[in-house]
Amino acid sequence: MPFASLNPATNQPMQTYASWDTQRLEQALQKVHHAQQVWAQTSYVQRTEVLFKVAAHLHTQRDRYASLITQEMGKPLREARAEVEKCAGVCDYYAQHAEEFMLSEPVESDAGKSYVAYYPLGVVLAIMPWNFPFWQVFRAAAPALMAGNALALKHAPNVPQCALAIESIFRECGLPEYVFANLMIEVDQAAEAIASPHVHAVTLTGSEAAGRKVAACAGQNLKKCVLELGGSDPFVVLHDAELEHTVNMAVASRFLNCGQSCIAAKRFIVVPQIADEFLRLFKEKVEALKVGNPINDDTQVGPMARADLRDELHRQVADSIAQGAVAVTGCRPVEGAGFFYQPSIMDRVTVNSCAWHEELFGPVAIVIRAIDEQDALRIANETRFGLGSSIWSKDTARAEQLAEQIQAGCAFINGMVKSDPRLPFGGVKASGYGRELSKLGMHEFVNAKTVWIR
């Protein structure tokens, strides 16, 4: 079945590509494996030179790649530009710090000398999503490549042009052939790739269902894996929050990338003292968002990436309203071409609603009214997900105490959740396991070897 690149703003086809058969996949993985063995012997100076070139190339060609992202998956152009710049930043970061992160660490023991040394693990299979088609790949590739690994990319089937562009960037900037390789394979071929003796580890960013399949396959084949899965992040607003700023950040956090982000705020949990005023401001600002063609600079909310995603979101919204949630604004698709959905808010969502339990992956915010602060904390943790979280209060010491009790991989106080190369990123519970970014993320895919000398 060919890969189809479709413009989600117009529903017009852009390009198609043939998928690979099993023989071509195995041949490619064998070449990646051989290339990695050579790459592992290169110096940090050589690796750094390549990543600095990649970063510079991304800066100078930002608008070109941003336009591709926008046309292929619907992200507003100004957000796409920021995504490309962020990719350049993660390349710069690991070029500057990878050698330090890979230094051997001395350990006192009964030996005359003992230490932990870090070596590349081999070929990392990266199964990546469509919602940040450049960033998700570069944040996996930069630390893996600097550690001496090779990266085989199985990208989402609706962004094949982005996948090919990234492969081309690395080659143009001096990375040896097959140290980074794009695999044009179907979803059901991922198991073959994981099972290949030429693949040594797997990193996945995707849905909970995809995570369960990849984890099972990796476990069966005894391959290390890191999973960054879905989220239903709580956005907890306490009585003393600075409301104007808080609501501005609520809008940005929920509606960035048309709400199609695992770390977007999704559950807005508010205490009684400020609930009505929060909702009034929230509604006002959400209704002011400009929906339109993502190629226009003034567009704030573009289309969803695919028709099936929009249809599933509307099913969740309609079911939630039937189960007692109150439609405050939006809550229906936009008529006409493209996969647009109105920026939406549902209020008075309760445990009886599917929106309470399921991740809403699109431009829909749900407001949950807590009884008090402790009830807000209970609601924040009453989810199978545990990726990000945020608490909004002028009393930062109190907010920090509450943040310690939230079951999530990230807790932000008076700021929206985001990924940063300097900080580890990942979740708990059904949001996955392992960490990306920072030194911890780099060490996920190395052989931490104990060396003991009499």
Q: Which residues partner with 227 through β-bridges?
A: 204, 433
Q: Which of 79, 83, 228, 444 is catalytic?
A: 228
**DSSP characters over 208-225:** HHHHHHHHHHHHHTT-EE
Enumerate long-range contacts of 371-377, CB under 8 Å, 24 or more apart.
Answer: 371/272, 372/271, 372/272, 373/238, 373/239, 373/271, 373/402, 376/236, 376/238, 376/269, 376/270, 376/271, 377/236, 377/402, 377/405, 377/406
d(CA 92, CA 76): 25
DSSP letter at 425?
B
Asked whether 183 and 85 are in contact (CB, 8 A), the reply is no
Question: End-to-end alpha-carbon separation of the chain, Å?
Answer: 59
The answer to whether 228 is a known catalytic residue is yes
Q: Which residues partner with 448 through β-bridges?
A: 118
Q: Which residues partner with 26 through β-bridges?
A: none
Longest dimension (CA), the chain: 75
To 10 degrees, the CA torsion angle through 369, 370, 373, 377? -110
> Which residues in 146-157 are b (16+ Cβ under 10 Å) and which e?
bbbbbbbbbbbb
Q: Which of 87, 162, 217, 262 is catalytic?
A: 262
Q: How far is CA 28 from CA 114, 163, 167, 302, 378, in A?
A: 39, 16, 14, 36, 49
Closest CA to 309 of 274, 360, 352, 262: 360
Helix (H) or strand (E) holding 450, with range, is strand 446-453
The answer to whether 287 is a known catalytic residue is no
Q: Which residues are catalytic?
A: 228, 262
